Amino acid sequence: MSDATTTDLYEVTMAMSYLREGMTAPATFSLFVRDLPPGRGFLIAAGTESALDHLSGLRVGPEDVDAFASALHRPPADLEPLLGMEFTGRVRAVPEGRVVLAGEPLLEVTAPLPQAQLVETYVLSLLSHQTAIASKAVRCVLAAAGHPVVDFSLRRAHGPQAGFQAARLGALTGFAGTSNVAAATALGIPAVGTMAHSYVEAFASEDDAFRAFARCHPGPVTLLVDTYDTEEGVRLAARVLRDLDRGPGSAVRLDSGDLAVLAARARTILDGAALPDVRIVASGGLDEYAVDDLVRSGAPIDTYAVGTRVGVAADAPYLDSAYKMVQFDGRPVMKLSSAKVTSPGPKQVYRRPGRPDVIALADEPAPDGGVALLETVMDKGRRTAEPAALEQSRARCAADLAGLPSAALRIRNPVAPRAMTSERLDALTARVRQGIEDLASHRSVLQP
């Protein structure tokens, strides 16, 4: 089986029906987040690169057909029309790293209806997950206010793939490093790491442990000082680093207790030992809220290591995302079911300095000073450009952050800017809605 089977069954049953009915005209689906989770002033677009990888490689093979048939308890012959299906459509997307707001399409797919439908689950999964994580990670960078932030999330991410993405998305949003060796080496992110409490416990004494570690690792080392008594641990680390002349670039790591208090005492001890260059790394259940508190308290912490809560976006582990058909065979389409109204037509988002974003129809001209967010990234099933380099997405993220109002950037009670909709989009929405309401037969409205 290829990853064509990593899909909801209904994508398959719908695609079968579309093919049977000859409904292969182009459809456009729009992927967006309806509302931001509480605690988010904006989102960082992510997942597009993975989605394009998936779409480029998608091909329904014989073993996929067998899997579909088995899932449906139908003979494989009934699934033959799907055999060999590839994605041949067009994709427009907001590049990874850019700021997006509620209702703004992150990605639009235009392809023959069966294809555009079949890819829903996988694409939605990638963008929802990665955008949720990137939007959490960037808040840690903001909270750290210039101090380096590093990723320690692999051990509690939702599996190895999710751990890899957490490292990648941390780097994309401005982290200085990751503990994840696979991600670090594959993506060129600085790898960071220290030692575990078990390391210290495995030696006859903390002193033995620190000296053995330094013996094995030339250059700067980071010593974990809270296995037994933290202040004693700092004193010991200072002695070892001074004895071995390994101060500059080295660090002590605090992983438990009152980090603000312990960091202040550690700083005093290190400075008293003439080790002003030895840095202090804090870890242990940190997220943007804890980092913000520590930074505001003036704690002399140099580097923040965040993990668990960031790697799973603990306070908002999913987004209210949707992948909705907005046009089929040239006709704008929308949905009216209770509390989940969508708006019709392919769209573009224009960003204007100092003014609200405008969500417009794709074929509208840009408003004054507006720059389009959605770019064509795939045509006829092939990428139109090389995958974006991580550095490029990281630069995009930093640039977009600089353009956000300060209320959106706040760690606590952020205020999310709202995008406007264009007059033409409003008019089309009203027209399509009225058309649906007028039709007692509840037909979807086919605009000319």
Q: Which stretch binds a copy of itself (CB under 8 A): 212-220, 358-366, 367-375, 410-418?
A: 212-220
How would you classify the pairing of strands 331-332 and 321-328? antiparallel
Residues 109-138 that bind a copy of itself (CB under 8 A): 113, 117, 120-122, 124-126, 128-129, 133
Q: Is 385 buried (19+), middle (13-18) or exposed (0-12) by CB count in 10 A?
A: exposed
Q: Is 196 in the site for a copy of itself (CB under 8 A)?
A: yes
Candidates 35, 57, 145, 228; binder of a copy of itself (CB under 8 A) is: 228
DSSP state, 59? B
Q: Is 309 in the site for a copy of itself (CB under 8 A)?
A: yes
Smallest gap from Cβ 209 to a copy of itself, in A, equals 9
| 108, 347 Cβ separation under 8 angstroms | yes
Residues 377-416 that bind a copy of itself (CB under 8 A): none
Q: Is 38 in the site for a copy of itself (CB under 8 A)?
A: no
Q: Is 194 in the site for a copy of itself (CB under 8 A)?
A: yes
Count interface residues toward a copy of itself (CB under 8 A): 116
Nearer to a copy of itself, 314 or 385 (CB): 314
Radius of gyration of the chain (CA): 26
Both tokens assigned to 46: 């992510």
DSSP states along 141-162: HHHHTTS-EEE--GGGSSSHHH
235 closest CA partner among 268, 205, 213: 268
Residues 142-181 that bind a copy of itself (CB under 8 A): 152, 154-165, 179-181
Smallest gap from Cβ 70 to a copy of itself, in A, equals 5
Q: Round to whole Å and give the CA distance between 125 and 338.
A: 24
Residues 66-105 that bind a copy of itself (CB under 8 A): 67-68, 70-72
Q: Round to whole Å and give the CA distance between 326 and 24.
A: 16
Q: Distance of CA 387 to CAs 55, 382, 409, Å?
A: 13, 11, 28
Q: Is 324 in the site for a copy of itself (CB under 8 A)?
A: yes
Both tokens assigned to 91: 């994709």
Candidates 147, 242, 265, 335; binder of a copy of itself (CB under 8 A) is: 335
Q: Is 35 buried (19+), middle (13-18) or exposed (0-12) by CB count in 10 A?
A: exposed
- The three-class DSSP label of residue 359 is strand
Q: Is 203 in the site for a copy of itself (CB under 8 A)?
A: yes
Smallest gap from Cβ 259 to a copy of itself, in A, equals 10
Smallest gap from Cβ 74 to a copy of itself, in A, equals 9
Q: Is 59 in the site for a copy of itself (CB under 8 A)?
A: no
Nearer to a copy of itself, 11 or 292 (CB): 11
* φ and ψ of 10, to 5 deg: -65, -25
Q: Is 217 in the site for a copy of itself (CB under 8 A)?
A: yes
Nearer to a copy of itself, 406 or 441 (CB): 441
Q: Which residues contact 381 (CB under 8 A, 6 or more apart)?
A: 55, 56, 86, 87, 88, 89
Candidates 256, 268, 376, 434; binder of a copy of itself (CB under 8 A) is: 256
Contact letters for a copy of itself, residues 5-34 (x by CB under 8 A): xxxxxxxxxx-xxx-xx-x---x-x-----
Q: Which residues contact 329 (CB under 8 A, 6 or more apart)?
A: 25, 26, 27
Candidates 83, 187, 191, 366; binder of a copy of itself (CB under 8 A) is: 191
Q: Is 303 in the site for a copy of itself (CB under 8 A)?
A: no
Smallest gap from Cβ 371 to a copy of itself, in A, equals 30
Q: Which stretch binds a copy of itself (CB under 8 A): 223-231, 243-251, 269-277, 375-383?
A: 223-231
Nearer to a copy of itself, 213 or 350 (CB): 213
Smallest gap from Cβ 159 to a copy of itself, in A, equals 4
Both tokens assigned to 79: 């699934």
Q: What b-and-e string marks burial along 352-377, b requiring 16 or more CB atoms within 10 Å of the CB? A: beeeebbbbbbebeeeeebeebbeeb
